[in-house]
């Protein structure tokens, strides 16, 4: 304790003390210029000089310690903040440097993660683009090599090639959407709209896709004058993604669209009796390109971008998308909109 107190006094009052001692020595000589006083003054001045030297030495040691730790950070000699030690006198500075180093390590880790995500994204994009392009190329080459005059296959091959150009353009559109949303370029236009009319229209548009798979598409309407706030165009994208997913990943049964009205918000719910999503995948399916069963998803024309777009749009409405699912029983997606 004494040690600490002395250090504190030494640090905080040293300069004041030195100036005072110097002035006192000068005053003694000027006021009473006797030999004894001369000796006292000289002793005082010498003491002051010794203190200054001591102080300077201590500061130099501290500065070199600080310099050592900073250059250590620059040279990557520390692997964790706890490795930085400046000693008890510089505890506060040591803590600050530790915090700064910790933050720097976090930032670097985050940048590395972003870089990894960017590389993965590029790899995924090229992979997904390659599949339809190669297929189209294959059909066209076969046609050029002679199949064009073979009436048994020529039309079929052209139709297949055309089908793949559709999935190619869907993929490119999804990619444009994703990059626009992520770069903040997608402008939202929020207006109140009648949710009943909106969902009725959506269900009408999706009916055929469900009927083609012998699935029932049911709409349970909310009260007819319920108005919700949102960007209708973007919400159309959300609903068509959710309903088409429900159709794609349901082999038998029904898809039910409903609205649950709360006091300030209303939830829009898309539920199906499909294959369901295993619990370990429920967080990841909103990631770009993530598919539970890649083979199955690709077979039904999926690239794994739909739910990433859905999540972004829902979040742009200051809301969140929730998923409840059980394998082989079905899935339920829901998100809220302001009333
Ligand atoms: N209703 C659902 N039932 C079961 N699995 C689903 C359902 N919706 C989504 N999934 C799973 O989540 C994955 C991601 O869905 P998402 O809509 O992002 O991609 P996708 O449907 O494969 O392709 P895209 O929508 O880009 O055409 C799907 O591949 C599928 O495995
Ligand atoms: Mg989808």
* Predicted local distance difference test score (pLDDT) of residue 45: 80
Q: Count of domains in the chain?
A: 3
Q: Are both 329 and 236 inside the same structural domain?
A: yes
Q: Within a domain: residue 59?
A: yes
Q: Within a domain: residue 93?
A: no
Q: What angle do CA 107, 113, 117 make, to 5 degrees?
A: 145
Mean local confidence (pLDDT), 184-190:
88
E strand spans, the chain: 191-194, 216-220, 227-230, 254-261, 265-272, 321-326, 330-338
Q: Within a domain: residue 84?
A: no
Q: Look up residue 339 and give its two tokens.
A: 């009333």
Q: What angle do CA 305, 273, 336 make, to 5 degrees?
A: 60
Tell me if 299 sits within 8 A of 167, measured CB to CB.
Answer: no
Q: Are both 266 and 315 inside the same structural domain?
A: yes
* Predicted local distance difference test score (pLDDT) of residue 11: 58
Boundary residue ending a domain (133, 153, 182): 182
Mean local confidence (pLDDT), 59-64:
88
- Pick the atom of ligand 1 nearest to 170's CA: 27
Q: Look up residue 160 and give its two tokens.
A: 């297949």
Pocket of ligand 1 (CB under 6 A): 174, 241, 245-246, 248-249, 272, 274-277, 285, 290-293, 297, 302-308, 331
CA distances from 107 to 69, 112, 114 (A): 19, 9, 10
Nearest ligand to the C-alpha atom of residue 251 = 1
* Predicted local distance difference test score (pLDDT) of residue 25: 77
The sheet that has 321-326: what strands, in order across it?
Answer: 216-220, 254-261, 265-272, 330-338, 321-326
**Ligand 1 center to 9 CA (angstroms):** 69
Nearest ligand to the C-alpha atom of residue 333 = 1
**Ligand 2 center to 110 CA (angstroms):** 29
Q: Look up residue 59 and give its two tokens.
A: 């500061």
CATH number at residue 156: 1.10.287.130
What is the span of the domain harbouring residue 237?
191-338
Backbone phi, psi, residue 14, to 5°:
-55, -50
Nearest ligand to the C-alpha atom of residue 330 = 1
Q: Are both 136 and 216 inside the same structural domain?
A: no
Q: Are both 209 and 297 inside the same structural domain?
A: yes
Boundary residue ending a domain (142, 159, 182): 182
**Ligand 2 center to 264 CA (angstroms):** 29
For ligand 1, pick from 297, 322, 326, 334 the residue to mutate: most ligand atoms within 8 Å of CB.
297
pLDDT in tens, 92-136: 999 999 999 999 999 999 999 999 988 988 888 898 899 899 999
Q: Look up residue 262 and give its two tokens.
A: 């709360």
pLDDT in tens, 1-13: 556 555 655 555 6
Give the position of tokens 């719910």: 269
Q: Are both 174 and 273 inside the same structural domain?
A: no
Q: Are both 56 and 155 inside the same structural domain?
A: no
Nearest C-alpha neighbor of 289 from the set 125, 49, 144, 101: 125
- Pick the atom of ligand 1 nearest to 274's CA: 3
Range with lowest mean pLDDT among 37-41, 253-257, 284-288: 37-41
Backbone phi, psi, residue 263, to 5°:
-75, -45
CA-proximal residue: ligand 1, atom 1 (nearest) = 246
Boundary residue ending a domain (51, 77, 103): 77
- Pick the atom of ligand 1 nearest to 171's CA: 26
Nearest ligand to the C-alpha atom of residue 128 = 1
Q: Are both 275 and 318 inside the same structural domain?
A: yes
pLDDT at 192 over 90: yes
Q: Are both 317 and 201 inside the same structural domain?
A: yes
Tell me if 257 sits within 8 A of 243, measured CB to CB.
Answer: yes
pTM, two decimal places:
0.73
């Amino acid at each position: 304790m004494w040690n600490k107190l002395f250090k504190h006094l030494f640090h905080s009052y040293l300069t004041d003390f030195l100036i005072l001692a110097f002035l006192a020595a000068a005053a003694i000589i000027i006021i009473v210029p006797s030999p004894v006083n001369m000796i006292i003054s000289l002793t005082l001045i010498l003491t002051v000089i010794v203190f200054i030297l001591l102080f300077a030495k201590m500061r130099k040691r501290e500065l070199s310690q600080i310099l050592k730790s900073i250059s250590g950070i620059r040279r990557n000699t520390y692997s964790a903040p706890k490795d930085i030690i400046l000693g008890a006198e510089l505890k506060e500075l040591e803590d600050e440097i530790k915090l700064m180093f910790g933050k720097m390590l976090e930032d670097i880790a985050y940048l590395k993660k972003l870089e990894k995500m960017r590389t993965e994204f590029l790899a995924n994009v090229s992979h997904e683009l390659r599949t339809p392009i190669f297929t189209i190329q294959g059909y066209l080459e076969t046609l050029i090599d002679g199949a064009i005059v073979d009436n048994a296959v020529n039309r079929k091959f052209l139709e297949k090639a055309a089908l793949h150009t559709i999935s190619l353009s869907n993929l490119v559109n999804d990619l444009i959407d994703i990059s626009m949303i992520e770069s903040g370029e997608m402008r939202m236009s929020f207006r109140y709209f009648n949710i009943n009319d909106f969902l009725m229209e959506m269900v009408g548009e999706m009916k055929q896709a469900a009927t083609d798979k012998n699935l029932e598409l049911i709409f349970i309407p909310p009260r007819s004058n319920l108005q919700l706030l949102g960007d209708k165009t973007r919400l159309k994208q959300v609903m068509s993604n959710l309903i088409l997913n429900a159709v794609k990943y349901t082999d038998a049964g029904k898809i039910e669209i409903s609205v649950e009205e709360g006091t300030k918000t209303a939830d829009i719910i898309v539920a199906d009796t499909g294959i369901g999503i295993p619990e370990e995948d429920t967080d990841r399916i909103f990631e770009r390109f993530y598919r539970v069963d890649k083979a199955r998803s690709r077979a039904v024309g999926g690239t794994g971008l739909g739910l990433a777009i859905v999540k972004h749009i829902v979040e742009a409405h200051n809301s969140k998308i929730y998923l409840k699912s059980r394998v082989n029983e079905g899935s339920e997606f829901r998100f809220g909109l302001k009333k």
